[in-house]
Chains A and B, each alone.
Chain A
Amino acid sequence: MNSQETDYQARRIPLVFTGNAKEYFNIWIINILFTIVTLGVYYAWAKVRNHRYFYNHTYVDNSSFDYLANPKTLLKGWAIAVAVFLIYNLLNAYLPIATIPFAILFMFLLPWVVLKSLMFRAKNTAFRSIRFQFDKPYGEAWLAYVGIAILIPFTLGMIIPYMIYRQKQFYVDGHRYGTALFRYTGQSNRFYGIYLKTSLFAILIGSMIAMLMALASSSMFFDPNAMTSPSMINNAEPSPGLPPLMFSALFASIILFNLFLVSYLQAHIFNIVMNHAQLENMHFESTMNPWTMVWIYISNTFAIVVSLGLLVPWSRIRLARYRASCVTLIANSELDEFVAKQVKEQNALGEELGEIFDLDIGL
């Protein structure tokens, strides 16, 4: 180690989220009001305001993040997305065969949209007046999001953890803060460990649900008309179907099961990625507890359903607060030494599409 680093006492800087549910509820509901009144046009502004609330209340070393996206850019992207959706649907209705080249085209379009949306998000995120940036060649995006995915059936899914690893590496390595580069130092074996563990839990819990269902429904089977949804003239007929209670139970357990898988996996991956990311001589530490995450997801969903959506703001704040509380920045130098990079203006087309599709390509 050189003298410069030993001179500096490594500092642990926690990530702090200071938003509160009451305040955010008001912002959220007023956003919805204007979105309704403008028949959806305000959605872009609402989205920016929403993002800004979370960015502006997330602090590192007493400075908060900024979200600088222009709502008009988002609106443009929205229009493009609607047009693409319409064209696809029209093709599907009038010329179904044309959807095949569309699907092939999509395989090349998807990585491009991922790349562009990462660029958009990074470019519009700033900390202490210095913007982030994302920069990666299209080829790497294609490989991480499509190329490896093509191999999934041939490897019986065994390549999935490797694919996720490559996607996270792509994500971290592509970012920079000013002129400083982020670097991902992890290996793929950790991802295999996590997927193995999650699969075992999934099999265990999945078979438990299946057994309970089988026990409870041993004398019943699926409603034939429910499977085809034809219109029965005689619905009063005691149909030999799943009674509503059983159906609701099945529905609920599928949702619970999915929430478990998603949150458990996400928490583990979040930890791995954070703990192996470096920014110059700084690194991160994440201590997210996967079971706490599972609990937050499940109880949030329950709260949202029971409150008919009114607790959406509360659950978002709760999630953001827990996420932030898990992360610490370990700085071996002052945060003052990052230098802005001259951002060259680039073709903005497509960047806003990712924001529209809300691609969850972050951590």
Chain B
Amino acid sequence: MQCQAHFYNGQSSTQVSVNLFLNADDSLSVMRDDQRQTFALNEFELQAPIGQSSAKLFFNTGASCEFKDPEFFAHLDQLKHPGFNFTRLLRRMEKSWPYVVLALVVTVISVWVGVNYGLPSVAKSIAFSIPANTEQLLSDKTLATLDRLFFSESNIDENQKQKIRDGFLQIINHQETPDKYHLEFRYSEKMGANAFALPSGTIVITDDLIKLAEHENEIIAVLAHEVGHVHNRHALRQILQDSFVFVLLTVITGDVMSNASFASALPIFLTQAKFSRSFEHEADEFAKHYLQSQGLSPQYLADMLSRLDKHAGSDDKETSFLSTHPATPDRIKRLVQ
């Protein structure tokens, strides 16, 4: 068996046209005019072509050879790699559409499962293995910024504040690190009735929410929900999850999308990210457990949620488009179950 090839002696870039001969004793001869050089099977490496490229021979003398003839390659490949050969399998898969479709399906499913289940659980275990003071860095200056931008002093009278503080103390005394949590009262025209937790453990409640509540336990329920966010380290987990998605995106898209452009848009991407559905459910669940442990009904949180929902009105259909916040009826259903 023979085929045409280009030969390079490894000493210079001179290209020489040669003929390759496969001898009866399985050795390979490189023929040029009347010159002949013979190599045993173990005196060269055979590199399979990739796509339409040439097959290559790397001789142990430093010389190399390239040829196109697929039949010659297949024959030599069988001699060189009898039995199973991974590259051969790879090449067969790359040429057969059922394997390509299979790869596509496996990839899509893996990415979907990974992003929906894998990343959250990895992020969770990492978040819980990071020391508790890490989140302090995340929200050290946040409250000061919010104060400057949106808040003014609370107008709630001191008596009522003290009652709420007492209820809050009860909640945090059930926690491992009660020192972490602080309660702040604020008034905000723009935020209206609201409450939120900074990752560091500072929980802010607005005057309007206190006024909207029809029962003290409803406020306790809301505070328990917020403590649940901090306790379960949702902020850190969210950041970790977002960064994993970012890394995954970079690995898949590779050099086409420049990292620089993505990196610069990332902060907005991150800050826009709201707590995902499951985090809200987790915090609701936390509040439910707390209420039940105090002999209170989870209905208090459910009532407060539905009142907040009504209060907000339904004039803002738009926000639910991107928001990952679960619909209130669903949350209420889970609470009273």
Contacts and interface: CB of A to CB of B under 8 A. Distances in A.
Contacts of B14: 128, 336-337
Contact of B196 (A232, A255, A258, A360): A232
A227 B268 CA distance: 8
B123 to A, nearest CB: 14
Interface in B91-147: 93-95, 99-100, 102-104, 106-107, 110, 130-131, 134, 139, 142, 145-146
B40 interface: no
Nearest to B203: A230
A56 B270 CA distance: 40
Given A36-B110, A57-B51, A240-B190, 14 more contacts: A26-B100, A30-B103, A49-B90, A57-B52, A93-B131, A130-B13, A228-B145, A235-B274, A235-B319, A237-B194, A251-B268, A262-B258, A309-B253, A316-B256
A9 B334 CA distance: 83
Nearest to A242: B272
A27 B94 contact: yes
Given A93-B134, A234-B194, A312 B252 contact: yes
B107 A29 contact: yes
Interface in A300-347: 300-301, 304, 309, 312, 315-316, 319, 335-340
B238 interface: yes
Contacts of B12: 130, 178, 336-340
Contacts of A232: 191, 194-196
Contacts of A32: 103, 107, 252
Interface string A242-278: 0110010011001100110010000000000000000
A185 B6 CA distance: 34
A235 to B, nearest CB: 4
Interface in B267-302: 268-275, 279-280, 283
B149 A304 contact: no
Nearest to A57: B53
A258 B308 CA distance: 41
Nearest to B263: A258
Contacts of A57: 51-53
15 contacts: A20-B52, A26-B94, A27-B94, A53-B50, A129-B62, A130-B8, A130-B13, A228-B145, A231-B226, A232-B195, A234-B209, A236-B325, A237-B193, A255-B261, A316-B254
B321 A231 contact: no
A64 B146 CA distance: 61
B1 interface: no
Interface string A214-235: 0000000001111111111111
Contact of A304 (B197, B235, B253): B253
Interface of A: 18-20, 23-27, 29-30, 32-34, 36-37, 49, 52-53, 56-57, 63-64, 66, 93-94, 127-130, 178, 223-240, 243-244, 247, 250-251, 254-255, 258-259, 262, 297, 300-301, 304, 309, 312, 315-316, 319, 335-340, 358, 360
Given A226-B272, A229-B238, A309-B252, A33 B257 contact: no
Interface of B: 6, 8-15, 49-54, 56, 62-64, 66, 90, 93-95, 99-100, 102-104, 106-107, 110, 130-131, 134, 139, 142, 145-146, 149-150, 190-199, 204, 209, 222, 225-226, 229, 234-235, 238, 252-258, 260-262, 264-265, 268-275, 279-280, 283, 305, 308-309, 311-313, 315-316, 318-319, 321-323, 325, 328
Contact of B107 (A33, A130, A239): A33
Contact of A316 (B255, B260, B321): B255
A226 B305 CA distance: 21
B195 A30 contact: no
A259 B261 contact: yes
A30 B321 contact: no
A360 B254 CA distance: 12
Contacts of A20: 51-52
Contact of B256 (A23, A37, A315, A335): A315
Q: Which of B51, B134, B139, B316 has the most CB of A within 10 A?
A: B51
Contact of B6 (A63, A236, A312): A63
Given A129-B62, A226-B271, A358-B255, A258 B229 contact: no
A312 B253 contact: yes
Contacts of A340: 10-12, 62
B54 A238 contact: no
Nearest to B95: A26
A129 B52 contact: no
A255 B264 CA distance: 8
A20 B51 CA distance: 9
Contacts of A34: 90
B13 to A, nearest CB: 4
Contacts of B142: 228, 230
Nearest to A50: B254
B256 A233 contact: no
A336 B110 contact: no
B93 A30 contact: yes
A33 B111 CA distance: 11
A128 B8 contact: yes
Top 3 A-B residue pairs of the complex, sorted by shortest distance between their CB atoms: A258-B261, A129-B8, A56-B53
A230 B196 contact: yes
B196 A251 contact: no
B50 A238 contact: no
A30 B51 contact: no
A140 to B, nearest CB: 25
Contacts of B312: 234, 236-238
B94 to A, nearest CB: 5
Contact of A312 (B56, B256, B315): B256
Given A30-B94, A129-B10, A238 B316 contact: yes
Contact of B13 (A129, A233, A258): A129
